Structure 1
Amino acid sequence: MESLNRTIWDEWGAAQAERQGRDEAAGIMDGLPFRARGEELFFLSPRLFAVRRLMRLWSECFAGRAEGQQGIRLVDTQRKGKIVFAADKKQAAELLSATRSAAKRTRNWGWVRGLFGSCGALYMPKAGYYLIMRPQAANGSAERLQAILKSCGFTVGVRKRATYRELTLRDQQQIVTLLSRMGLVKTALSLEETAIYRSMRSHANKLVNCDAANINKSIEAARGQMELIRRMDELGITETLPEPLFELIAARKRNPSISLKELGQTLPRPISKSTVEYRWRKLEHLLQTQLKGDDANVLRKSGR
């Protein structure tokens, strides 16, 4: 999971802005809480890499304009583990208004990408996957994001919080599709590889657990049979048994841990597992009869 997280944020931060730079910058801002003070908006973010990405996009969006370099600045990088930065109110409004004007009729993946960078995350617990975005509730970003995702057929879970909305995707294939739409192709491929590896490992674990259960069952059965043989030997019953039952006991003594199926194949005349089970039940009955003091001559009857 750590390597996948590194992949996703390295790819997100290194991508070329191209034509969607303004949309992505707006998405980053829409995912963060802020407050106005004078001619600036003060934003709070836990992600320094997202702030640096926004500053680079900002300089590209306002390249050639004198106020471009001064339009955004770091204020504090050590405020309880979060970063405070200030953006020029007019420039921020210019970026946000251009994106929001087409919000209702456009699936703006550049904006979604920016939003994901500022308030999104991908999680991979021991079972399953989920991608979460927590846009601010006050600016309508949550409703806009939900509309975009639902229009593309994504199954979105929504939970309301005090200041934000939590939108969640839990289907692995839908998560891969969304990552691809946001231009995070390398991450999407890594997630698919991880999903394949998880599936193969899960299948292998099931086989191992099944084999282990079968082995334990065989060992337990063999232990019980060896105990039965010991008691029959003590009572002097073994030598009086019919040949088929005597051969079975002799085979078990030679092979104290093999399975019933394997035991049946070691006999001079191989038999099936069900026949082996039948003969062991017959031996158990004979022992119980002897222990109860039944002197009937049942031991000389021929076995199956």
Structure 2
Amino acid sequence: MSFAEEVKNEVAHMDSEDAACRTAELAALLCMGGSLILGSGGAVGLEFSTANNAVARRALSMWRKSFSIRPEVLVRQGLRLRKKNYYILRVPPSAASTACLQELDLFPASEALQGMALRRDDCRRALLRGAFMGGGSVNRPQGDYHLELVTENKGFARLLLKLMHHFHLSAKMTDRKGAYLVYIKDGNGVSTFLQQIGADQAYLKFESVRVIKDMRNNVNRVVNCETANLQKTVDAAVRQTRDIEVIRQSGKYQKLSLRLQEAAELRLANPEATMGELAAMSGLTKSGLSHRFKKIADIAKEIEELHHEENKDLT
């Protein structure tokens, strides 16, 4: 079972005694996962489908608590091996069903949920919960952080974005192949969204994995940083030793100032030491010792360039 299915199963078993919250949740759920059925005389009905049994049961339960019309319940088998069944709730077109859909602010479709009064935060949370059950997905916390709600209704997508921003979620909106996506791509945002819709167990699971994941990432960063610093130390030591050898082989080592010879001898005696360790041994500052090694490097470079020019003249 995917993490998204776990979240949907959890919130699908929440209590929904408050009528206003139930209306907001049911409307969002049907808007995301349902489609209108046109009948004669301007009457409309609804067909809602989902592959999640718990979500289907919740949609049916909320509808029965809200309206007297009884939907038809169908199960459609997947076309391929091991494909999930689809659970379908169908409300045939009639004057009564049209009134129900108008009460849910789902008809007319072009204005779906635009006139719904959401005066309380618990109703706003219920609407987000319904939207997630109807058309939401979230990655497992072990992977990249990503949660999205997908709808074909641009106005409803804007409402979802507005509600997420109301709860200080860093959500964004985009379109993809005729659908509109409202998404969150940071761990704090996904975690907070799970809290807001009431998925407490999923939230705790997400956070426990995230803590371990962040700790592992921090350890890796520290190790990588230490490895990089060690590599810098090794590279500097190799470069400085090479410069000293170039000067020695040229016969000009004894012509170096005493200060430069002291620095060179210190490096040769401590080939694995860092610049900080060498500075402590010499009683100099790190920048002062670095300046001496730069002088040695400049002298070695001049010797190599002169040697290169001499070889050119010989050829």
Report the equivalent of 2:88.
85
For 2:134, give the aligned amino acid: S
> Which is further off, 73-82 or 110-119?
73-82
What amino acid maps onto 1:118 in structure 2? Answer: G
Q: Which of 264, 273, 281 is the equivalent residue of 2:286?
A: 273
Is residue 135 from structure 1 mapped to residue 148 from structure 2 by the alignment? no
Counterparts of 1:67 and 1:33, CA distance in 2: 17
Q: Secondary structure at the match of 2:60?
A: helix
1:11 matched to 2:16? The reply is no
Residue 137 of structure 2: aligned partner: 121
Amino acid at match of 2:242: E
Whether the aligned pair in 2 keeps the contact of 1:72 and 1:86 (CA below 8 Å) is: yes
Structure 1 residues 121-160: Cα deviation after superposition (integer angstroms, max 9, x where no partner):
234799974432122429x644554554455565653334
Q: 1:181 aligns with which of 190, 196, 215?
A: 196
Displacement after TM superposition at 1:223 (Å):
0.8
Q: Distance in 1 between matches of 2:90 and 2:32?
A: 15
Query: How many angstroms apart in 1 are the aligned matches of 2:220 and 2:139?
Result: 22
Q: CA deviation at 1:180?
A: 2.6
1:189-228 CA-partner distances (Å, limit 9, x unpaired): 4445555555555554444343333222221111112212
Q: Structure 1 284/142 Cα, relative in aligned 2: closer, same or farther at 3 Å?
A: closer
The gaps in structure 2 that reach 5 residues or longer are: 107-112, 308-315
Are 2:30 and 1:29 aligned?
yes
1 CA distance for matches of 2:303 and 2:126? Answer: 85
Contact 2:138/2:147, CA 8 A, preserved across alignment? yes
Provide the C-alpha distance between the structure 1 equivalents of 2:116 and 2:22, rounded to a whole number of angstroms: 19
Q: Distance in 2 between matches of 1:176 and 1:257?
A: 47
- Say if 1:23 and 1:95, in contact at 8 Å, map to a contact too: no
Per the alignment, in what secondary structure is the counterpart of residue 77 of structure 2? strand
Identity fraction in percent: 20
SS at match of 1:266: helix
- Residues 232-268 of structure 1 show CA distances to partners (whole Å, capped at 9, x for unaligned) of 333444466555443433332232122122123334x
Q: Distance in 2 between matches of 1:29 and 1:143?
A: 17
Measured after TM superposition, the shift of residue 31 of structure 1 is 0.8
Aligned partners of 1:76 and 1:85 also within 8 Å: no
- Kept after mapping to 2: 8 A contact 1:31/1:141: no
Deviation at 1:165, TM superposition (A): 2.8
Q: Contact between 1:122 and 1:131, CA under 8 Å: does it hold in 2?
A: yes
Residue in 1 aligned with 2:173? 158
Q: Deviations over 1:253-295 (max 9, x none)?
A: 232122122123334xx222222223223334555676759xx
**Partners of 1:215 and 1:175 in 2: how far apart?**
38
Residue-by-residue CA offset, 1:160-194 (whole Å, 9 max, x unaligned): 46654322345655544443332123334444555
SS of 1:74's equivalent in the other structure is: strand
* Code of the aligned partner of 1:275: G
Tell me, in whole angstroms, the C-alpha distance in 2 between the residues paired with 1:153 and 1:287: 61
User: Closer, same or farther in 2 for the Cα pair 1:36/1:5, shift >3 Å?
Assistant: closer
Answer yes or no: is the 8 Å Cα contact 1:245–1:279 preserved in 2: yes
Q: Cα gap change, 1:144/1:3 in structure 2, threshold over 3 Å: closer, same or farther?
A: closer
Could you tell me which amino acid in structure 1 is paired with residue 64 of structure 2? F
The TM-score, its normalising length taken from structure 2, stands at: 0.67
What 5-or-longer segments of structure 1 have no aligned partner?
A: 294-304
The answer to whether 1:75 aligns with 2:90 is no
Residue 109 of structure 2 is matched in structure 1 by none
Q: How many angstroms apart in 1 are the aligned matches of 2:134 and 2:103?
A: 19
Distance 1:92 1:73, change over 3 A: farther
Q: Deviations over 1:81-105 (max 9, x none)?
A: 5726242336976764443399521
Q: How many residues align?
A: 284
Write 1 or 2 for the structure with the bigger share of helix: 2
